[in-house]
Structure 1
Amino acid sequence: MTTIKRTGGIVAIAAATALILTSCSGTTAASPTDVDPDGEVVPREISWLLSRPADGGVITAMEQIADEYAEDHPGFALNLITTPDRPSYIQKYETLAAANKLPELFDTDATPFAQKLADQGRMVDVDALLDDLGLADDYREAALNYQRFDDGSLYMVPFEFQLEYFWYNSALLEQAGVAVPATLDDFPAMCKALRANGITPIALDGQDQWPLERYMAYYPFRLAGPEYVQKLKNGDASFGDPAGRAAAEWLSSLGQAGCFQEGFSSTGYADAQALFTSGKAAVYNIGTWELSNLATEALDAGVRDSVDFFTLPTIDGAVTDDHEYVTPSGIGMAVNAKTYDPLVRDFLAFALERYPDVYAATGALSPTTTAATTIPDTATPLYSQAIEPADGVGPRIAMPWDTQLDPATNTRLQQELTLLVQGDTTPDEFIDTMDAALAENGK
């Protein structure tokens, strides 16, 4: 049977963490590329430190798979150590890494912290693992690319694949006499027209801050490609560079045009979604993980038939293609090189082969191309339309900046973005503040 433990946060001491992590270099017992170790498969409990909803599709699928594996391997159990709250999870993860006590499997984004672990040989090379298991060609290129470090190396396995869209209410746009924006620069005019007709232009979850940070990523991605944020986090670019300045000025223009609902900074996830699904807001930027709420017969008929979507608009002089936008594969799973042995390899071989079919049966997009998504009985035609582009997305991804920047700079960015959109600071002031934060924290 699969065992689940939900543990509380571990109190971290930030300064000590950095020092201990540095001292742990070279402590792994196995090579990260030794993906097929010799020895017998001896069943035992293995653990997965993860940051996912306990009742979500990934955990549900892996519980089922672990139970199936245990039937043929008595004594095996998968202990899921769950901490859905992301800040608490990061604290726990970094503390265990500092103490060299990470379990066999653990969740991580492709952050600078994770890059350090990989550089120290503490994570199994996933490119080598998938190739050895004969699964490398099964995965969507974009799903793997989302997990890669800046140098192209891969140390995390994706378990999801999402497409992020701008969902819109066609009836409200028609009422305001506006079309779907062809470019990012069309947003302010769209917002003003909607406002003039008494319609909230864009529903935004400002409370959680990351949705607004998505908007910060859009203009630079179109203007300079994914390389801009990579250079930014490494101190090789500035918020005052053309891409960063264009983003700041665009965000400021969205605020001046009243694009987001009044009090957006205190609006939570559920309330932002309700603004759109109740027909009070015209646009809502969110991923296909919300398909069950956006493309369902349960929606009020007055809204249901008017819901549609468009992908990230381009700009004049864009360096990325229209079919390249935010296509995340979620937080990845890393494999601890120190505890990697024949059992871990054997379980992963079984689980990764079985997972796509089990996960796709829940109505979700698989990170592989080998499993067709099961469309729920209660879905509207929009459900199929929304997942259809998955096979045609480009290899370059508009990376969420909260997975790229160091935590201190990211926190400051989220705070300053709210002030910028509210008109409490100017683009120049925003740029100066963020460049100072980057200089202090980035290295």
Structure 2
Amino acid sequence: MKKVSLLAAAVGTALAMTACAGGSTGAAPGDVNPTGAIKAREISWLLSRPANGSVITVMKGLADEYAATHPGFSLKFITTPDRPSYIQKLETLAAAKKLPEFFDTDATPYAQKLAKQGQMVDAEKLLKDIGLDQSYRPSALAYQRFDDGSLYLLPFEYGAEYFWYNKALFAKAGVEVPKTLDDFPAVCAALAKTGVTPIAMAGKEQWPLERWMAYQPFRLEGPAYVGKLKKGEAKFSDPAGATAAKWLGELGTSGCFQKGFSSVGYTDAQNLFTSGKAAIYNMGTWELGSLATDKLDAGVRNDVDFFTLPTVAGAKTADNDYVAPSGIGMAVNTRTYDPLVRDFLKFALTKYPQQYAASGALTPTTTDVTLPANATPLYSKAISTAEKVGDELAMPWDTQLDPTTNTRLQQELVLLVQGDVTPAEFISTMDTTLAQNAPKYFK
């Protein structure tokens, strides 16, 4: 009861705050350049990002810089790092039509409904109007697009997901980098015989294991499979889904993941790899600071390398097509959109890429990254590889499926890999769950 009360209080505070924000009468989604004077006031951003992360740090600095020439302006950050609580807050405010000027969301079916209700400014038109549309990576914008191709979300991050591996542990086990996804079970079995964990898995976070479910279907059918699956127009029992289930089961029986992986968090999984106790770690370039600088233990530093998503026989996607997310997007609220909001966005989005890149991170634009002084050669290699990502993106399934089906999938994947259910039982459960929830969610 206490947790619920605290959340309700937080939502109530946010409701009150947004109700008092400015005097804007709002705008139509496509009215990206409203007329009128720029009147400074406090605006707010409802977000789910690390409070000490580079995105918030850079944007705080830009807001302060803007305020220096616009007395009375300020940008308030309403942070809720816990994603389930954040989503509940977002939906509560959206239902009351009390969302603040900016709010974070993935390109989910729910977010698309908000856009169709006219609660989001057309980001494509906005970027074009302020002259920044050509500066963004097509893949970064593609990640933020809805199924119909429309763009209502602005990216602030970009990353490529690789399979980091320990060359010394591979050599000791007598194995090479997997050329195909089907090579993983044998590679895992050989690594396990040497006493190391083949793949460090942050199972407690749920989404890392869900990535593995997406790999076979993406190689076999491209992004089309999950696009149909989420609407109930395809099934887990279809060839792509059945292949994935069988493969995940084989990864489990081959001992690919550490014992008790389902209760292992993000930091512990990373430590398992960086301490040399695990041979493979599937994670994005946002962890370059830990994997490709002198912060990495000297005992394993020179042994770390990476490979990209292996292919399969008859693949419909290219070798350089894989997961390259641009993170959670930021939507601009039409109800509070006015000349001030537009002017600040133009100011911030113009300056943001260069300052964000200075932190050593890839940006959603083509801005060159500033390598840290303590970077290893692997850092530069990872950045240059990310610049060559293909046109077909492997979309994370947790942003695609309806919430009920996605939750059940995350639960069943653990059981499948642990050997508690067979691939056939997994498929049957998931097809039943999908049939019960997808059609009504996407109607």
Q: Please report the TM-score for the alignment, with normalisation by the length of structure 1.
A: 0.93
Matches within 5 A, 1:242-321: 242-321=239-318
**Which stretch shows the higher mean deviation, 392-401 or 131-140?**
392-401
Partner deviation per Cα, 1:132-179 (whole Å, 9 max, x = no partner) = 111000000110000000111000000000010000000000000000
Q: Which of 356, 379, 389 is equivalent to 2:385?
A: 389
Contact conserved, 2:141 with 2:151, CA < 8 A, in 1?
A: yes
Counterpart position of 1:81:
78
Partner deviation per Cα, 1:300-325 (whole Å, 9 max, x = no partner) = 22200000000000000111111110
| Aligned residue identity for 1:233 | K
CA distance in 2, matches of 1:65, 1:114: 27
CA distance in 1, matches of 2:425, 2:402: 21
For 1:75, what is the secondary structure of its paired residue? Answer: coil
Counterpart position of 1:136:
133
CA 1:226–1:11: 2 relative to 1, 3 Å? farther
- Residue 397 (structure 2) pairs with residue 401 (structure 1): yes
Contact conserved, 1:169 with 1:279, CA < 8 A, in 2?
A: yes
CA shift for structure 1 position 29: 4.5
- Residue 195 (structure 2) pairs with residue 207 (structure 1): no
Counterpart position of 1:148:
145
CA shift for structure 1 position 12: 11
CA distance in 1, matches of 2:60, 2:10: 29
Counterpart position of 1:373:
369
Counterpart position of 1:159:
156
CA distance in 2, matches of 1:9, 1:57: 26
Counterpart position of 2:14:
none
For 1:80, what is the secondary structure of its paired residue? Answer: strand
Counterpart position of 2:22:
none
CA 1:226–1:92: 2 relative to 1, 3 Å? same
Q: Which of 7, 10, 30 is equivalent to 1:9?
A: 7
Q: Which of 166, 169, 172 is equivalent to 1:172?
A: 169
CA distance in 1, matches of 2:339, 2:179: 53
CA distance in 1, matches of 2:321, 2:6: 39
Contact conserved, 1:10 with 1:91, CA < 8 A, in 2?
A: no
CA distance in 2, matches of 1:398, 1:189: 24
Partner deviation per Cα, 1:205-245 (whole Å, 9 max, x = no partner) = 01111110010111111111111111111111111111111
Q: Which of 405, 418, 426 is equivalent to 2:422?
A: 426
Matches within 5 A, 1:429-440: 429-440=425-436
Counterpart position of 1:60:
57
Partner deviation per Cα, 1:398-427 (whole Å, 9 max, x = no partner) = 111111111111111000000000000011
Contact conserved, 1:361 with 1:373, CA < 8 A, in 2?
A: yes
Partner deviation per Cα, 1:85-138 (whole Å, 9 max, x = no partner) = 111111100111011110110000010100101111111111110111110000
CA shift for structure 1 position 11: 8.0
Counterpart position of 2:188:
191
Contact conserved, 1:159 with 1:367, CA < 8 A, in 2?
A: yes
Q: Which of 347, 351, 374 is equivalent to 2:348?
A: 351
Counterpart position of 1:417:
413
CA shift for structure 1 position 392: 1.4
Counterpart position of 1:237:
234
| Aligned residue identity for 2:7 | G
Counterpart position of 1:99:
96
- Structure 2 unmatched runs, 5+: 12-24
Partner deviation per Cα, 1:59-110 (whole Å, 9 max, x = no partner) = 0010000011000100000010001111111110011101111011000001
CA 1:227–1:9: 2 relative to 1, 3 Å? farther
Contact conserved, 2:26 with 2:338, CA < 8 A, in 1?
A: no
CA distance in 1, matches of 2:48, 2:428: 34
Contact conserved, 2:41 with 2:72, CA < 8 A, in 1?
A: yes
Counterpart position of 2:109:
112
| Aligned residue identity for 1:226 | P
CA 1:87–1:387: 2 relative to 1, 3 Å? same
- Structure 1 unmatched runs, 5+: 1-6, 14-27
CA 1:68–1:100: 2 relative to 1, 3 Å? same
Please identify runs of 4+ aligned residues in structure 1 that moved more than 6 A.
Answer: none
Q: Which of 35, 39, 42 is equivalent to 2:36?
A: 39
CA distance in 2, matches of 1:376, 1:8: 41
Contact conserved, 1:9 with 1:89, CA < 8 A, in 2?
A: no
For 1:286, what is the secondary structure of its paired residue? Answer: strand
For 1:384, what is the secondary structure of its paired residue? Answer: helix
Contact conserved, 2:220 with 2:312, CA < 8 A, in 1?
A: yes
| Aligned residue identity for 2:270 | Q
| Aligned residue identity for 1:212 | L
CA distance in 1, matches of 2:221, 2:174: 32
For 2:226, what is the secondary structure of its paired residue? Answer: helix
Q: Please report the TM-score for the alignment, with normalisation by the length of structure 2.
A: 0.93
For 1:78, what is the secondary structure of its paired residue? Answer: strand
CA distance in 1, matches of 2:150, 2:101: 20
